[in-house]
Structure 1
Amino acid sequence: MRLLRNRPTPPAPAEPGDTLATAESLHVRLGTRDVLHGVDVTVRAGEVLALVGPNGAGKSTLLGALAADIPAADGVVRILDRPAAEWSAPDLALRRAVLPQSASLSFPFTVEEVVRMGRAPWAATAPEDDDRAVAEAMRQTDVTAFAPRPFSALSGGERARVALARVLAQRAPLLLLDEPTAALDLRHQELVLRVCRERAAAGDAVVVVLHDLGLAAAYAHRVAILRAGRVAADGAPEEIFDQALLSEVYDQPVEVIPHPRTGALLVNPERNL
């Protein structure tokens, strides 16, 4: 007699503004070092939330904690109103998808095989559903032409886009992306952030770690500025991208000005050449 295991249940569709994840008084310690100190962050459906701040501010650690990959020393992370630690791995994989900073594989998988790995949480679905999700994710990230190529033969930027396609194919309502534009050229930086906005417009919640404040200003609905493991400011870019605050946080003079033609917010380091 074969025992049937309970299949994980996909989450119900979220409404715009629904809270999909929170960090409440979150403290994280890595080794002997306290990295996050009492962080509060809310992640909502329909929004792109950018985490910005200087190196070592705790951005990737916060993302890892929101993904339930890094445990809290104190405080709590909730995913869909439930403590993250209480979700089983299969259920969690249907609710959040994570893009790490770098992607490496030891075996000679093709690009399509790598993207298809994102469908693993949906093992019980029809093959045609998997095919559609994989094809759509590859189209969105502009990697369809690479489908038969070995992942190991790609450039760094191409690998980064394939890794993002795998995350998109997972079709989770909470996307957690760590520096998805770091290895990309100008065109593909814009493409990736447009995809983030599209996923938010479709009802997902997207949290993205960015170093480029100009991209954060252009594409994020909300920004959390981290400094030394704490949230220095949280709000819409036009509300919190203050010249004095950014200059202090980054220890570098920064200018925040409106675009002369569109009025969009421009954030640049002050340079004396």
Structure 2
Amino acid sequence: MRLRARRPLPPAPPAPGDVLAETRGLHVRLGTREALKGVDLTVRAGEVLALVGPNGAGKSTLLSALAADVPATEGVVRVHGRPAADWPAPDLALRRAVLPQSAALSFPFTVEEVVRMGRAPHAASPATTPADDDRAVAEAMAATEVTGFATRPFSALSGGERARVVLARALAQHAPLLLLDEPTAALDLRHQELVLRLCRSRAHASDAVVVVVHDPGLAAAYAHRVALLCAGRVAAVGRPTEVFSERLLSEVYGQPVEVLPHPRTGALLVHPLREP
């Protein structure tokens, strides 16, 4: 008798405050280097959690561990209450979407075809119709402002345009846990703001967004919480006003930093102190 493959079901929509991912005592070794050292972190539905810190602090490694793309050397990573490594790949893909630092495609896919790849995890789900796929793709392309070049080859786009297309692919996946590695790195000022507003919008809809951001000022403006990493450890975690002190940032970055409230909005402005 031929067995029919199990069809994965998408998770129930999370409620604000639900724990969608967590690490406990997480160590990750990459070759001979210990990239993460005893990291404890909790990610809850309804929040944007920014990972900030200097180059080599472990931000991207932590994001990859949450995505179950990098195995833990010690400790545990849980996604939706279950060890990340225990999830079958089709089920995990319905629970978390990942935007890597860079995305290379070898074939001449159009922009719309790349975004539609985000719907692949739903292909075997009995809860999804072709109309659902079309709607998700159209909404993701509109949100990232790439609809206007839907038929252009992905390879013909600028770096910033490609970054927005790959973000649209992750958004179209409709996973409640969104893991974004430097989504603003190649973007101009307006599109940086657009992407981070999208993060806030997803959190408002009770999803959880973990985003690696190099600019502490952007993290302060848009994240509900920040985790400041240094040398593979979490130096501090909490609201931006709790974490972003001049003393701590200056120590972690090895650069004198000034932190001031915006005169109109009150949001924190973080910038390096420069020699006169």
AA matched with 1:164: L
Counterpart pick for 2:261 among 239, 251, 258: 258
Deviation digits for residues 74-130 of structure 1, max 9, x if unmatched?
Answer: 000000110001100000000000000001100000000000000001114211100
- Indicate whether 1:271 and 2:274 are aligned: yes
AA matched with 1:268: H
Which residue number in structure 2 is paired with residue 245 of structure 1? 248
Aligned partners of 1:93, 1:11: CA distance in 2, in Å?
Answer: 11
AA matched with 2:7: R
Which residue number in structure 1 is paired with residue 134 of structure 2? 131
- Indicate whether 1:181 and 2:184 are aligned: yes
Deviation digits for residues 144-195 of structure 1, max 9, x if unmatched?
Answer: 0010000000000000000000000000000000000000000000000000
Superposed, which structure 2 residues align to 1:177-216 within 5 Å?
177-216=180-219
Superposed, which structure 2 residues align to 1:38-57 within 5 Å?
38-57=38-57
- Indicate whether 1:236 and 2:239 are aligned: yes
- Indicate whether 1:172 and 2:165 are aligned: no
Aligned partners of 2:265, 2:179: CA distance in 1, in Å?
Answer: 30
Aligned partners of 1:239, 1:252: CA distance in 2, in Å?
Answer: 19
Deviation digits for residues 53-78 of structure 1, max 9, x if unmatched?
Answer: 00000000000000000000000000
Which residue number in structure 1 is paired with residue 89 of structure 2? 89
Deviation digits for residues 198-223 of structure 1, max 9, x if unmatched?
Answer: 00000100000000111000000000
Unaligned runs of 5+ residues in structure 2 are: none
What is the aligned-residue RMSD (CA, Å)?
Answer: 0.8
Aligned residues, how many?
Answer: 273
AA matched with 2:95: R
TM-superposed deviation, 1:261: 2.0
TM-superposed deviation, 1:2: 5.0
SS at match of 1:26: strand
Aligned partners of 1:48, 1:263: CA distance in 2, in Å?
Answer: 19
Which residue number in structure 1 is paired with residue 113 of structure 2? 113
TM-superposed deviation, 1:4: 1.6
Unaligned runs of 5+ residues in structure 1 are: none
Q: Structure 2 length normalisation: TM-score?
A: 0.98
Which residue number in structure 1 is paired with residue 75 of structure 2? 75
TM-superposed deviation, 1:272: 2.2
Which residue number in structure 2 is paired with residue 12 of structure 1? 12
AA matched with 2:215: D
AA matched with 1:216: A
AA matched with 2:134: D
